[in-house]
């Protein structure tokens, strides 16, 4: 039986960087969880706690609406690192004083390290860090010493090594803080004495045991396999735990990219020997979509059909009382709405939201504690094909949201060929590793062209290539002229039905990555 991993609790005090801090901690091979202040003590009690990180946040510690952090966090007997607001709160709570700084400090700042110890072990002299604060600590609590300073911030880093309490006014989690990762690593290794053993092998072992404990000796699981990295890795973990008691279902909705179904079948049926049912539901989806041009309507119909088809298949496995899902950690983190803003529903992402309740099944979610990078690392560890490990995100409604106007079998076939040219050329040129997504879009316009001596009147294909770190914001990416012209020539010469190719040069926001 594996024991729970030693863990760090990250208390989100309203920062935009909570997940970034968590990813850095995980990169240092340490398990961590994020909790809002209201649940911090409860989560701390559940973990095998080795340290706490208090994040930054937009409030002032002396403001009435400042997040209420439980002071008991400082009495748990584990080291605490406060970042920006976290440092200010800790210092104030321990008897120091915080006030508005004479000069606000934003952006790159030169940090002078006075003591190359604890957080700064191995980091001497000066380094560049990222600051973003209006308040700062003006008087340190008893027992605290200065570790580093900047021109306008005398206590840019301070701490009490005896208690393991440290505070930094800057943000070590962002890459602009050149040696920030080393500082976080030092906190974990030097201060919290963590071994850094949260690695694919131990994660797999732990998840497999957990799955077995949930499912029992004869329980069965059904899982919707999409061929994306999340459901694929979830399937491999569950399969490793319970073998043929996992039944995976792949729904071909007719809206997939070229070769997609073949890769999934070859990988999971032939290579991993999963019990995989491939349902060809193309006709059903295309019939529902006939005459539909409204983007939200398309998404709704596809979501509904998916649930119906999946449910029918899942119910065939009468002994299966569990549903496997590739839910990731970012989907389950409670976010802290310090600004109280509304998050508008921009697009109704359907995914498999309606499934669990409907089916009345228990859930098996082996990726619930993992970030995407960790899921990829586990996929590789389990020998998963790189084409799946590195697969670019593909929306649930598939090509339907890249076909503007009506979705028909012919228009799907047209887009599928052009998209294959875009993806294969970009991959052959080795450019895909820098990109978040790269695909073709079928526009609902026809335009005049000339081929040979004849006039043509055909469709227009847009190329969408973006870089992004999480899909929330994105920049359009420029490919070199030669690659773009090869893609354009091939589409027009090889795909009957297109006579024009255009490049989408819009960023998100205000555009979105998908066109619908």
Residues near ligand XMP, by CB under 6 A:
346-347, 349-351, 393, 395-397, 437, 471, 508, 512-514
β-bridge partners, 299: none
Q: Which of 132, 139, 145 is nearest to 98 (CA)?
A: 139
Q: Do 157 and 191 contact (CB within 8 A), yes or no?
A: no
**66: phi > 0 → left, psi -120 to 50 → alpha, else beta; which?**
beta
Which C-beta is closer to ligand XMP: that of 148 or that of 404? 404
Which C-beta is closer to ligand XMP: that of 115 or that of 261? 261
- List 84, 192, 460, 461, catalytic entry: 84
Which C-beta is closer to ligand XMP: that of 136 or that of 437? 437
The residue assigned the tokens 């974990």 is 188
Minimum CB separation of residue 212 from ligand XMP in Å reads: 29
- List 91, 105, 133, 171, catalytic entry: 171
Which C-beta is closer to ligand XMP: that of 99 or that of 512? 512
Minimum CB separation of residue 327 from ligand XMP in Å reads: 12
Query: How are the residues of the chain apportioned to helix, strand and coil, as percentages rounded to the nearest 5?
Result: 35, 25, 40
Which C-beta is closer to ligand XMP: that of 212 or that of 347? 347
Minimum CB separation of residue 419 from ligand XMP in Å reads: 13
Residue 171 among the catalytic residues: yes
Structure tokens at 111: 């940090």
Minimum CB separation of residue 472 from ligand XMP in Å reads: 7
According to DSSP, residue 77 is labeled S
Which C-beta is closer to ligand XMP: that of 206 or that of 298? 298
According to DSSP, residue 253 is labeled -
Structure tokens at 231: 């459901």
Q: Which of 193, 194, 192, 146 is nearest to 168 (CA)?
A: 146
- List 33, 91, 105, 173, catalytic entry: 173
Which C-beta is closer to ligand XMP: that of 200 or that of 228? 228
Burial of 42 (0-12, 13-18, 19+ CB in 10 A): exposed
Residue 173 among the catalytic residues: yes
Which C-beta is closer to ligand XMP: that of 269 or that of 300? 300
The residue assigned the tokens 């040219």 is 421
Minimum CB separation of residue 27 from ligand XMP in Å reads: 22
Q: Do 96 and 88 contact (CB within 8 A), yes or no?
A: no
- The 3-state secondary structure of 10-38 reads EECCCCCCHHHHHHHHHHCCCEEEEECHH
Q: Cα(17)–Cα(24) distance, rounded to whole angstroms?
A: 11
Which C-beta is closer to ligand XMP: that of 105 or that of 514? 514
Other Cβ atoms within 10 Å of 207 Cβ, number: 25
Minimum CB separation of residue 437 from ligand XMP in Å reads: 6
Minimum CB separation of residue 509 from ligand XMP in Å reads: 9
Query: For the stretch 249-280, what's the b/e string if a residue is b when 16 or more beta carbons lie within 10 angstroms of its beta carbon?
Result: bbbbbbbbbbebbebbbebbbeebebbbbbee
Minimum CB separation of residue 465 from ligand XMP in Å reads: 13
Residue 406 among the catalytic residues: no
Q: Cα(338)–Cα(392) distance, rounded to whole angstroms?
A: 32
Q: Do 338 and 58 contact (CB within 8 A), yes or no?
A: yes
Q: Cα(490)–Cα(482) distance, rounded to whole angstroms?
A: 12
Q: Cα(78)–Cα(129) distance, rounded to whole angstroms?
A: 26
Q: Which of 463, 462, 458 is nearest to 446 (CA)?
A: 458
Minimum CB separation of residue 224 from ligand XMP in Å reads: 12
Which C-beta is closer to ligand XMP: that of 83 or that of 422? 422
Structure tokens at 5: 């991993």
Minimum CB separation of residue 335 from ligand XMP in Å reads: 17
Q: Do 466 and 435 contact (CB within 8 A), yes or no?
A: yes
β-bridge partners, 474: 508
Q: Cα(498)–Cα(282) distance, rounded to whole angstroms?
A: 24
Residues involved in catalysis: 84, 171, 173
């Amino acid at each position: 039986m594996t024991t729970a991993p030693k863990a760090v609790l990250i208390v989100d005090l309203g920062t935009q960087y909570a997940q970034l801090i968590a990813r850095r901690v995980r990169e240092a091979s340490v398990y961590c969880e994020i909790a809002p202040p209201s649940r911090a003590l409860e989560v701390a009690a559940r973990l095998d706690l080795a340290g706490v990180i208090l994040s930054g946040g937009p409030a002032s510690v002396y403001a009435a609406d400042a997040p209420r952090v439980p002071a008991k966090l400082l009495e748990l007997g584990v080291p605490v690192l406060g970042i920006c607001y976290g440092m200010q709160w800790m210092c104030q709570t321990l008897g120091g004083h915080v006030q508005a700084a004479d000069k606000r400090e934003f952006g790159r700042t030169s940090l002078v390290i006075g003591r190359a110890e604890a957080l700064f072990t191995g980091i001497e002299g000066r380094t560049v860090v990222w600051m973003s604060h209006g308040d700062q600590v003006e008087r340190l609590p008893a027992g605290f010493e200065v570790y580093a300073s900047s021109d306008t911030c005398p206590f840019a880093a301070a701490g009490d090594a005896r208690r393991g309490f440290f505070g930094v006014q800057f943000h070590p989690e962002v890459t602009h803080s050149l040696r920030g990762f080393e500082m976080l690593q030092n906190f974990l290794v030097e201060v919290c004495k963590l071994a850094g053993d949260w690695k694919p092998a131990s994660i797999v072992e732990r998840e497999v045991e957990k799955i077995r404990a949930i499912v029992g000796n004869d329980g069965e699981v059904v899982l919707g396999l999409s061929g994306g990295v999340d459901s694929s890795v979830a399937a491999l973990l569950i399969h490793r735990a319970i073998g043929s008691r996992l039944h995976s279902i792949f729904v071909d909705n007719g809206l997939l990219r070229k070769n997609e179904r073949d890769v999934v079948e070859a990988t999971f049926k032939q290579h991993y020997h999963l019990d995989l049912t491939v349902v060809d539901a193309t006709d059903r989806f295309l019939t529902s979509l006939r005459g539909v041009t409204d983007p939200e309507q398309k998404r709704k119909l596809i979501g509904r059909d998916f649930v119906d088809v999946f449910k029918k298949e899942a119910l065939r496995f009468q002994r299966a009382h569990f549903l496997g899902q590739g839910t990731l950690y970012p989907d389950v983190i409670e976010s802290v709405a310090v600004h109280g803003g509304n998050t508008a529903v921009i697009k109704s992402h359907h995914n498999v939201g309606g499934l669990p309740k409907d089916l009345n099944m228990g859930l098996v979610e082996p990726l619930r504690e993992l970030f995407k990078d960790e899921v990829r690392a586990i996929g590789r560890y389990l020998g998963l094909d790189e084409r799946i490990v590195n697969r670019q995100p593909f929306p649930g409604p598939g090509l339907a949201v890249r076909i503007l106007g009506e979705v028909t079998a012919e228009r799907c076939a047209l887009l599928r060929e052009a998209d294959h040219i875009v993806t294969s050329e970009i991959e052959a040129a080795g450019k895909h590793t820098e990109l978040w997504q790269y695909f073709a879009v079928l526009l609902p316009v026809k335009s005049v062209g000339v081929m040979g001596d004849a006039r043509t009147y055909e469709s227009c294909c847009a190329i969408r290539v973006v870089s992004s770190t999480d899909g929330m914001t994105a920049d359009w990416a420029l490919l070199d002229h030669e690659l773009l012209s090869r893609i354009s020539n091939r589409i027009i010469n090889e795909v009957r039905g297109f006579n024009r190719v255009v490049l989408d040069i819009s960023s998100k926001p205000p555009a979105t990555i998908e066109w619908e």
